[in-house]
Structure 1
Amino acid sequence: MTALEDKLSGWTGPSSDTEQEKQDRTERMIREAVRNHAEFANCSLKVYAKGSYANNTNVRSDSDVDIAVQCTNALYWNEVTPGVKPVGTPYTGPWTPARLRSELKTALEAKFPGQVDSSGSTAFTIKSGSARVDADVVPCFDHRYYFSPDNFLEGTKVFKTDNSSLLNYPDQQKANGNLKNQRTNQRYKKAVRIMKRLENAMVTAGVHREVPSFFVECLVYNIPDAVLNLSTWTELVRGTLGHIYNQLEGSESIAVDGRWREVNECKYLFDASQKWTRSDGRDFALAGWNYLGYKS
């Protein structure tokens, strides 16, 4: 067990200093690309990091950066029941989803010639160089989900090129992750890194398929604080894998009162819109259990 404890302890750390420097440089260059694009002079933009890089849960094998370029000129919204949102004046300005995407593409290609992949439906992917890491840059807009005129969730709305859209809640993800990290004596984010490195190791060994990094982070977020506060990494990981496997047995319909949520707590982790299922979580936990040599 000492060898396993040493392995897991070694998996708790963030990206190396060199990798962090590359991530920071990538973010800085993307900010410069947006700032230097003349057409954005009359567009109110927020440019910020999100995802595992911003939340300090990334590891070297997943060290790309996610950057949001958020237009605040227009507000999109949904409401829990019709008429809840306060009456306002619709936006009629020039910054449509199509124009924001087009101008951002031009800005990125000017800064990173020949390195921007715009074929994806959601993000522009910037290929890494010797001094940079891969980056996904997502154009988005302000969004609110109204429960009452004074009670709403603030997030972002992404318009995809396939005419669909998605909602993200990066501020809530960051805040909730930090709070859970504080409640668990700084062990939550270390546990996330362990589980991401476990996933990488299993993929390299050919014993399990790739699992999205965000999904892994959400699985760990739903682990009880008491499990994450266990005294050794060996016990913590055993408890984490066991909890995932046992609690995700059966269908989502049997967990109506205890449904797992994304780290942002604004969206359910398992519903028809997600790319993963409860079975995917159980498969990952079982493979991890066997890979690390735990016994029943």
Structure 2
Amino acid sequence: MIAESQLDIWASQGPTSQFTDTYDRIRSNLLDKGVPYPLAKTEVFLQGSYKNDTNVYGDSDVDIVLCYTGGFYKDLSRLSVEDRRAYDALSNGPAKYDYDDFKRDAAQYITRLYNSVNTGKKALYIPGNNSGRRNADVLIAYEFRRYYAFKSWQDQRFDEGVCFYPAGGSMIENFPKLHAQNCTTKHQNTKSYFKHMVRIFKNMRNTMIGKNLLANGVAPSYFIEGMLYNVPNDKFGGTYQETWINCFNHIVTANRDQLVCANNMHWLVRDNSPTSWPIANFNAFTAALKKYWES
């Protein structure tokens, strides 16, 4: 069992000042009046550990979303036949300025603005510099809506997210704002234990990677947050040791196929899904946690 004093250290939030400054500076540039994309229809916001206050020592990248809101892609599969007919009757058709247009303009602007920008599969990587700017990943995205009901533009119901196309891949939809909101609500409903426990599990992951007990990339922070989101609120409380044991026991005895991501929009553990944790990786992480805790 890991000492309570160590868990207390791991529960603490990592530094934020440099990362806040990095976000503010990049956001200011992305919303500059000279940008080549429609500024009035563009939004910039944080996602990931710094947005969710679950960052730990060693977290290096600031995750930023640059999203076009002047149009949207959608999922209409949950609409009734009647509502789908109403939507089709009022739809204006495909957007004139689509995702490819926005990504082209935004990527060209960012690569001109910063040195050594690396185009990854999902995001643009902006390396830090000597003036204090930290590494940042910028996801170029487009507004996305998952529809549940539609009578008119004044009477509609949907969840708002973002979508993007990775290099050579199909569209991926995600809901970073819902993820952040749900994590905050979970934290409040667990007497402020939830985010502390996320940091403890993240620090355990980092320690296990450093000791070659877990491969890097097996347990992204996003999925750790989702994993703990599924733990009932009454399992949080008491010492960190007690809470860790209660959380872990619930996770490994729950029906794995019923676990959801923290956005409550995707399944947490599934194979062949870009928004889910592969089964082998989930199993590898929980097995490593058990072994390390007992050692």
Aligned to 2:223: 215
Partner of 1:15: 14
Identify the residue that residue 106 of structure 1 maps to in structure 2: 108
1:32 matched residue in structure 2: 28
User: Normalization by structure 1: what TM-score?
Assistant: 0.87
Which letter does structure 1 place at the counterpart of 2:200?
A: I
1:239 aligns with 2:236: no
**What letter corresponds to residue 218 of structure 1 in structure 2?**
G
Displacement of 1:25: 1.9
d(CA) in 2 for partners of 1:148 and 1:41?
Answer: 29
2:69 to 69, 72, 86: 72
**Displacement of 1:50 after TM fit?**
1.1
Structure 2 contact 37–102 (Cα < 8 Å) conserved:
no
8 Å Cα contact 1:177/1:263 also seen in 2: yes
Q: 1:84 to 1:78 in 2, by over 3 A?
A: farther
- Residues paired across the two proteins, number: 278
Q: How does 1:249-288 map onto structure 2 within 5 Å?
A: 252=257, 259-271=258-270, 272-274=272-274, 276-288=277-289
Corresponding residue number in structure 2 for 1:49: 46
Residue 138 of structure 1 aligns to a residue whose secondary structure is strand
Structure 1 counterpart of 2:203, from 191, 194, 197? 197
Q: CA deviation at 1:185?
A: 0.7
Give yes or no for contact 2:36–2:106 (8 Å, CA) kept in 1: no
Which TM-score applies when normalising by structure 2? 0.87
* Amino acid in structure 1 at the alignment position of 2:20: D
Paired residue secondary structure (1:273): coil
Give percent identity, aligned residues only: 24
Shift of 1:99: 2.1
Partner Cα separation in structure 2 for residue 73 and residue 176 of structure 1:
26
C-alpha separation in 2, matches of 1:143 and 1:125: 23
Residue 255 of structure 1 is matched in structure 2 by none
The secondary structure found in structure 2 opposite 1:40 is coil
Asked if structure 2 preserves the Cα contact closer than 8 Å seen for 1:84 and 1:146, the reply is no
Give per-residue Cα distances to partners, 1:135-154, cap 9 Å, x unaligned.
11011111111111122111
CA contact (8 A) 2:142 2:162 kept: yes
Instruction: Give the letter aligned to residue 84 of structure 1.
Output: D
Does 1:128 pair with 2:128? yes
Unaligned runs of at least 5 residues, structure 1: 253-258
Work out whether 1:188 is the aligned partner of 2:197: no
Q: Secondary structure at the match of 2:37?
A: helix
Give how far 1:170 is off. 1.5
Counterpart AA for 2:93: P
Question: Residue 83 of structure 1: CA displacement?
Answer: 5.7
Deviation readout 1:5-30 (Å, 9 max, x if unpaired): 000011111112xxx12211221222
Letter in 2 for 1:78: D
CA offsets 1:70-115 (integer angstroms, 9 cap, x no match):
111112111124563422212543x22222112212222233122x
Distance 1:74 1:241 in 2: 42
Partner residue of 1:63 out of 48, 60, 64: 60
* CA distance in 2: counterparts of 1:4 and 1:234, whole angstroms: 8
For 1:276 and 1:174, locate their aligned partners in 2 and report how far apart those are by CA, in whole Å: 18
Instruction: Say if 2:293 is the partner of 1:292.
Output: yes
- 2:124 maps to amino acid: F
In structure 2, relative to structure 1, the CA distance for the partners of 1:42 and 1:30 (3 Å cut) is closer
Looking at structure 2, the residues matched to 83 and 162 of structure 1 have their Cα atoms a distance apart, in angstroms, of 35
Runs of 4+ displaced beyond 6 Å: none
CA distance in 2: counterparts of 1:182 and 1:53, whole angstroms: 18
